[in-house]
Structure 1
Amino acid sequence: MTVGSRAHSFNAAADRYSAGRPSYPPALFDFVEQFTSRPLSGARVADVGAGTGIATAVLRERGADVIGVEPGDAMAATFHTLLPDVPIIRGDGNALPLADASRDLITYAQSWQWTDTTRSVPEALRVLLPGGALAIWWNTTALDVPWIREQHQRIAHHCGVKPTSRARPDDSDAIRLAGLSGLRVARRQVRWSRVIALDTHLANISSRSAFLVLAEDDQRGFLSEERRRLREFFPDEAVEETYVVDLLVASRP
């Protein structure tokens, strides 16, 4: 299973991705504004790997002049359906279809890991205006919550991957070595939670890249058993998911 096949697997589940994936807390965007010393309102933003527009929608709500960049057909189609007034263009972070020095902010929500940093970093720097910033973040799993940690291990075992001791490997070294060492960089982690229906939680699981490449029978069997397990914890079928957003922001001179 290649990185490319996992990246493109989202196209087969755009509806599940849109229905199940969490958004992001206001504190994340507050910190981006604080770090860049400018409001998002009126900022020219490119949301790269925009998917179905989860982060794009929040950026627009904050008043940004935002455009989505997305390589996948189905994801882009769902984006257009959900955000018909927001422009979306086809492309990815390794070859941004954007003009030089045209954006105040470039964001990668859950998508930086699909890029080749030897290409995506120079591309970001090319497109950013002087004083512009690059913001990269992930909703990572709160593994200190027992039921979440146990589920994380079950999913990893079922998908044939090694469970991690933390939700996401530390990408900061790779990013720094890829060319951001000369920029002003800050990292923050923001803990937050949401309460959702059990069906929405299961849709979230089913939209993960390692899960999507499994056979459909394997997916259905796991989700059926997971539904049974979770009803023991959440008999009212209202599931509290807890996340820690891992955010890295870098600004250019």
Structure 2
Amino acid sequence: MTEDFALSFDTVAAQYAASRPGYPSTLFDAVEAMADQPLKGARVYDIGAGTGIATRLLRDRGAHVTAVEPGPKMAAQLRKGLPDVPLIQGDGNSLPLATGSADFITYAQSWHWTDPSRSIPEALRVLTPRGALALWWNVPDPEIPWAAAQEARLQKRFPDYHRHGVAPQAAAIIKTLDDGLRPAFRTLHWQRTVPLETHLGHLGSRSYFAVMGPEGTAEVLSSERTELLRTFPDAQIPESYRLDLTVVRNT
């Protein structure tokens, strides 16, 4: 079940906080341009906030941000790192938020865990007129040979790998729900270099690994360690990301 995968992150919350990538400043420049309004001073609800990776960056951008997260252990990690940020337990299918109370609603790596037929009307309800819904995902860049090879290996091990992924299709999905909406789509690219163990921790924090548990995960990560050291003997991994962004302005 999708819910089982969505809540599986609670079992790897600390690992998620330590190893998951953030987002470049160019992402937030693009969000502001596509929404035609600044994040500074805006009322923002970050839905499926997880451990607060995007929440922190939104706050640093000057937004008045509130985190919304269903998983208690993920929320505990967020509270540990961002004790001053308001935190509400909830999810995008039934937002515990007042109508017309948000300038932005954001989903960083989390909108695919919702039911779009419920989460889109909920977002539009909570947004002010001309407020904006922003959805984004870091995706391993398929144009990078080693990353594509790793994704192919993982696909063989997990037949349902990325079954829940909707990053490139988000705009089209939204259009089928409400033909009056005009979602805009943009792709960015960025890179970070991390130690091998951080990269493996990132892999292990993905839902497919989390639902397997540590025993099943260990074999896969051991195999990936061997493969990666062949390509990167210095154990420094240049993770390259395609960052898919969809922004929808309320009407």
TM-score (norm 1): 0.94
Distance (whole Å) between structure 2 residues aligned to residue 3 and residue 102 of structure 1: 28
Distance (whole Å) between structure 1 residues aligned to residue 41 and residue 170 of structure 2: 30
* CA positional deviation for 1:170: 2.0
Distance (whole Å) between structure 2 residues aligned to residue 116 and residue 163 of structure 1: 16
* CA positional deviation for 1:36: 2.2
Partner of 2:68: 69
Distance (whole Å) between structure 2 residues aligned to residue 215 and residue 124 of structure 1: 33
Distance (whole Å) between structure 1 residues aligned to residue 162 and residue 119 of structure 2: 28
Partner of 2:244: 246
How many residue pairs were aligned? 250
Provide, for residues 206-251 of structure 1, a one-character-per-residue CA deviation record: whole Å limited to 9, x for no partner: 0111121114222111111211221121111110000011000010
Tell me if the contact between 1:107 and 1:136 (Cα under 8 Å) persists in the aligned partners. Answer: yes
User: What is the aligned-residue identity percentage?
Assistant: 48
* CA positional deviation for 1:35: 1.9
Partner of 1:148: 147
Partner of 1:50: 49
Distance (whole Å) between structure 1 residues aligned to residue 166 and residue 130 of structure 2: 31
Partner of 1:33: 32
Question: Where in structure 2 are the equivalents of 1:1-253 lying within 5 Å?
Answer: 2-161=1-160, 168=167, 170-179=169-178, 181-253=179-251
Q: Secondary structure at the match of 1:171?
A: helix
Q: Secondary structure at the match of 1:135?
A: strand
Tell me if the contact between 1:142 and 1:148 (Cα under 8 Å) persists in the aligned partners. Answer: yes
**231-240 vs 8-17, greater mean Cα deviation:** 231-240
Distance (whole Å) between structure 2 residues aligned to residue 228 and residue 208 of structure 1: 19
Distance (whole Å) between structure 2 residues aligned to residue 59 and residue 249 of structure 1: 15
Distance (whole Å) between structure 2 residues aligned to residue 41 and residue 33 of structure 1: 10
Q: Secondary structure at the match of 1:149?
A: helix
Distance (whole Å) between structure 1 residues aligned to residue 20 and residue 190 of structure 2: 14
Tell me if the contact between 1:110 and 1:139 (Cα under 8 Å) persists in the aligned partners. Answer: yes
Distance (whole Å) between structure 1 residues aligned to residue 70 and residue 248 of structure 2: 24
Distance (whole Å) between structure 2 residues aligned to residue 172 and residue 202 of structure 1: 31
Amino acid across the alignment from 1:173: A
Distance (whole Å) between structure 2 residues aligned to residue 200 and residue 216 of structure 1: 16
Structure 2: segments with no counterpart, 5+ residues: none
Provide, for residues 105-162 of structure 1, a one-character-per-residue CA deviation record: whole Å limited to 9, x for no partner: 0001111111111111111011001110000111112111111111111112222336
Distance (whole Å) between structure 1 residues aligned to residue 213 and residue 50 of structure 2: 23
Distance (whole Å) between structure 2 residues aligned to residue 96 and residue 167 of structure 1: 21
* CA positional deviation for 1:163: 7.3
Amino acid across the alignment from 1:16: Q
Amino acid across the alignment from 2:98: A
Distance (whole Å) between structure 2 residues aligned to residue 246 and residue 169 of structure 1: 7
Q: Secondary structure at the match of 1:170?
A: helix
Q: Secondary structure at the match of 2:183?
A: strand
Distance (whole Å) between structure 1 residues aligned to residue 136 and residue 231 of structure 2: 30
Q: Secondary structure at the match of 1:155?
A: helix
Distance (whole Å) between structure 2 residues aligned to residue 150 and residue 168 of structure 1: 20
* CA positional deviation for 1:76: 0.4
Tell me if the contact between 2:158 and 2:208 (Cα under 8 Å) persists in the aligned partners. Answer: yes
